[in-house]
Chains A and B, each alone.
Chain A
Amino acid sequence: MGLCQSLGLLAALSLVACDAQISGGGFGTPPDLIGPEARRVSLGHAVGRRLTREEYFNSLEVVLDVDLDADDYDLPRDNRIPEGFRNSAEDLLLSPARVRAYDAIAEEAVAQADVAGLVSTYATCTEMRADCYDGFVDRVGLLVMRGPVADTERVFFSRLVNLAQEEGEGFQEGAALVLRAMLQSPYFIYRLESQAGQNVGEGREVDSFELATRLSFLVWNAAPDQELLDLALGGTLRANIDAQVDRMLDHPRARRAFRQYVEQWLYLDAIPESFELGTDMKEETYRLLERLVWEEDVDTMRAFVEDRAELSGALASFYGLPPLDSGFATYDLSGVPERIGLLTNASVLAARTINPSSSMIDRGLFVLNDLFCQSVPPPEDPELREAIDEIAVPETSGLSQRERFGIQSEEALCRGCHGLFDPLGLAFEQYGSAGQYITEDEFGNPLVGGGTVAVGDVNAEYQDVEEFATALAASETVARCIAEKSVQHAYGRKMGAKDENVLSEVFASFDAQGRTYRALIRAIAIHPEFLLVEVAP
């Protein structure tokens, strides 16, 4: 058995480099980058990004008011990049299967849509005359294609109305064909922003329709609705960004987007439907964060130390609590220190258990990467890899994970990196692979759960997971990471050194406004970088 950790984990994560230098996230010392160059950050290559699976189905709901279950269709899931999230513009793939799915889903979505209602809303007349169907195309096109329909495109759609007429059908049948074509339009499938007249590297401010689109995907993970587009059309959206962001945050679509964000940030999508209690486990986490964000609108850092949870009866039993109800009910966990806050949710623990025999490392890396926004680069040197293999302590040694990885970390070769993330994983020593609380492992070794943490601004010893969680809740480094993750998701790309400026400024605003989710989304929405278009090469 190889490595300073388990093989399977390394193969899956490719994250361990025992001689590597830690690299911080985008935050840190505020950079001296104010100036034109620093402002040229923007969304990067996002000017030509394809909608993700979630964005696509969410957008169908916005424009057609249909609620299709994504799992019923063969639209491939998007890649998750090692830095997290499935919406990295540079890593979005396009396969024939995806294009076939767009065709099939467009047909099904229109079949389910209230086309008569759409015609009633968007057509000023329904005779089979050019002015009638051109008017419909223009108005419904503004919504579906997120901007005005060009003359050339109107011709394409008009042919479909003519076809319906040839077949002896009426306006509504023609409208349905137009909608099917629009749903496969590049303006629906992609987020396109014009670069006419710009040179590579030059920035410009978004136009009104681009702004509507950026705001809606930021808050709703979906296409803009009619109100946003009407404001864009009237030229008043820019003056109403705050109000529109607040309106969107109050809409149920924002909760849907938030769940999708949380699912990816915490890797909850790694927990399948078939996993026992998996749905209940995820629901606990969603409900915890939703309460703090939507009902209470409080500091998001409270999630780490929250002692109240909504649990199903089955999950309560799994936690060793007498169930209050078979369905979900609120439980006071103030006397249950092993179930304090987000990090002790079974969903979070199970999702980050890639290999049960090295869960300590899986979880330690999660804390380092996704809560401190710091990482260790993967090893590139094969000789180093071979040397590491020689040091590994076999999983069958009968030692606890703490003991096994402790032995390995005594090696100088391993200490550099394992010294960073192993201590973070020790906090979760007393949790099995499914997130169950345990006090001894399969070899009968007692598990204690204490350790030290020395990352970012946290430098403390902890006796148990409660002290660990409390330390993280008080950490500015972690709070900055919370903000950075949202910026990364909003921008749809990896964060780098050039993003230090925007990250620092967004965090400053988030911090000054009580670190609420609303404050974070507002800070991203109004930041100049978010409103800048850069020409992609």
Chain B
Amino acid sequence: MSKLTRRRFLHGAGTVAIGLPIMASATRFAAAAPGVAPPRYVSLFFGNGMPKKFVENGYSGSVLAPLAPFQSKLSMIRGLQLNENGGALLHYKGTARFGKGMHPPSESSPGGESLDNKAHRTLASDSLLLNLNMHTHVTGGNPATRWYHSWRGVNQPNDELLRPLDVFDAIFGTFMPPDPGSLTDEERRQIRYRNSVLDSVVDQYQELSSDRSPYSAGVRALISDHLELVRSLERRSLDMETMLPPVSCDTPAAPADITPSQACTATLCPGDDNFYYGSGGANWNEVWELNSDLYAMALRCGVTRFGTMGCSGGGDRYPIPELRAQGITESPHVLAHPWTRANENGFDVCVRWLMEKVAYFLAQLDDPAWPDPAGGTVLDNTIVLIGTELGTAADNQHHVDYMTFWLAGGGGRIQSGIFDYDGRSDVDLYSTISRAMDLGDQFGDAADFNGHFDLVR
């Protein structure tokens, strides 16, 4: 997709006057009372680490410069450690822990539920709110821990979207029912059939997950999870049938169907299973910006409040095309290995580029043209967790001894500033967020919990 096309899409969205605030959607999406910001939480992951050198001088260094305009709304939390070993294995372990704080049992799955999912099921379980997860780094789903960031539990990922059109469809296709008058009798009957089939399916799974089930607790849990997914599907299908009024965000024109581009590797090409889209895609930046626009729109419209984003993946092997002109022809991952404090090799430029992507997303949420019903911008009323899977105080980047995270926005409750918590765990951070969102005092592996950070007002 060309830049022109993206602009055209955004222009189209603007001309149909996407509604603000989204009061009409309140009942449908179980929103908070008018004037009160509903809880929102989004995690944003970028791959291949953030060494101490890049953060030790706050936002004055070149790497973090893109985030400097937002520093009054950012908490920078430095010096954390992950309770993991493993060299290159830390790519998946650190990624699997991000937003979960649990040791992963394998490359296939994190150790448990992600914070966004807990927020979603706790604070919006009966609504049609979308748990929205998008990524611009594809591994073909394998290993799953590097691709999925939102998980219901072990082996239970939530959907992760890549293509902007899929993100658009998730937001405006699923949540914007067609005009009731546009359906034929046959279409109405087919919807009714589908709902009845799903109803029957729900009954079957409910029966097998009940106390009457002849299966073990583990198997019943498996069936029970499937049951919840079918129920969710059924709820959305019923919504189609009952034709609830659309939310007040009018549907903008769909973006063009663009797929992140990428050159073939030795054996794989775009679209192939196990192919990595990464920072090397020629339109990678454009995909990120378009998906960021869509994600921000979903938050503004009240279609989603909890979810995840990823703007690159740990361990990927693709150079950033925009940086080739600066002589950086290796991927951030490859550069991270030999990187030292004394000898910058371009890794710093790569990380700065990634911070520009983070800043772009924050800017969309912080756009004053879209005031939040509770006052301020959407960013002001949203907790955005930003982080990566690696961080070191020393040279080689493949360590987890000095991790840096950010909390943007903070939902009005988390202080901005720079905070050093050397040696403390990621679980302490996630528990702090969890408590701030009234999701419980602790989140993550209990063994790694040492107490909350003094960040919450």
Contacts and interface: CB of A to CB of B under 8 A. Distances in A.
A94 B334 contact: no
A156 B266 contact: no
Nearest to B218: A536
Contacts of B108: 79, 81, 88, 91, 93
B214 interface: yes
A200 B208 CA distance: 19
B229 to A, nearest CB: 4
Given A196-B214, A271-B267, A186 B205 contact: yes
Contact of A152 (B155, B207, B338): B207
Given A7-B334, A11-B88, A96-B232, A273 B192 contact: no
Interface string A135-167: 000000000000000001100110110010001
Interface residues on B, range: 35 or more
Contact of A82 (B87, B91, B107, B222): B107
Nearest to A12: B315
Contacts of A378: 86-89
A3 B214 CA distance: 51
Contacts of A274: 264, 269, 271-272
Interface string B199-223: 1110111011000001111110011
A385 B398 contact: yes
Interface string B213-252: 0111111001101100110110000000000000000000
Interface in B87-109: 87-92, 106-109
B396 interface: yes
A382 B399 contact: yes
Contacts of A186: 204-205, 208, 223, 226
B317 interface: yes
Contacts of A177: 193, 196-197
Given A11-B315, A186-B204, A385-B87, A2 B338 contact: yes
Contact of A7 (B141, B189, B203, B333): B333
B337 interface: yes
A195 B214 contact: yes
B214 A194 contact: yes
A153 B273 contact: no
Contact of B215 (A11, A192, A355): A192
Given A274-B272, A382-B85, A2 B208 contact: no
A241 to B, nearest CB: 25
Interface in A66-113: 76-77, 79-82, 88, 90-97, 99-100, 103, 106-107
A444 interface: no
Nearest to A185: B204
A152 B208 CA distance: 11
B157 interface: yes
B230 A99 contact: yes
Contacts of A384: 87
Contacts of B194: 103, 107
Contacts of A10: 87-88
B266 A356 contact: yes
A20 to B, nearest CB: 12
Interface in A13-54: 14, 45, 47-48, 50
B168 interface: no
A400 interface: no
A192 B219 contact: yes
B159 interface: yes
B260 to A, nearest CB: 16
**Chain A to chain B: the 5 pairs with minimum beta-carbon distance, closest first:** A385-B87, A272-B272, A48-B219, A196-B214, A91-B108
Interface of B: 85-92, 106-109, 140-144, 148, 155-159, 189, 192-194, 196-201, 203-205, 207-208, 214-219, 222-223, 225-226, 229-230, 232-233, 264, 266-269, 271-275, 315, 317, 333-334, 337-338, 396, 398-399
Given A95-B156, A97-B159, A274-B264, 16 more contacts: A2-B338, A82-B107, A91-B109, A96-B158, A96-B232, A103-B233, A160-B196, A181-B197, A184-B201, A186-B204, A192-B208, A380-B85, A382-B399, A389-B396, A434-B267, A536-B218
18 contacts: A10-B87, A11-B91, A14-B88, A79-B141, A94-B156, A99-B233, A153-B204, A159-B196, A167-B189, A272-B269, A378-B89, A382-B90, A385-B87, A385-B398, A389-B338, A433-B267, A434-B267, A536-B218
Interface of A: 1-3, 7-8, 10-12, 14, 45, 47-48, 50, 76-77, 79-82, 88, 90-97, 99-100, 103, 106-107, 152-153, 156-157, 159-160, 163, 167, 177, 180-181, 184-187, 189-190, 192, 194-196, 200, 269-275, 350-351, 353-356, 378-382, 384-386, 389, 433-434, 535-537
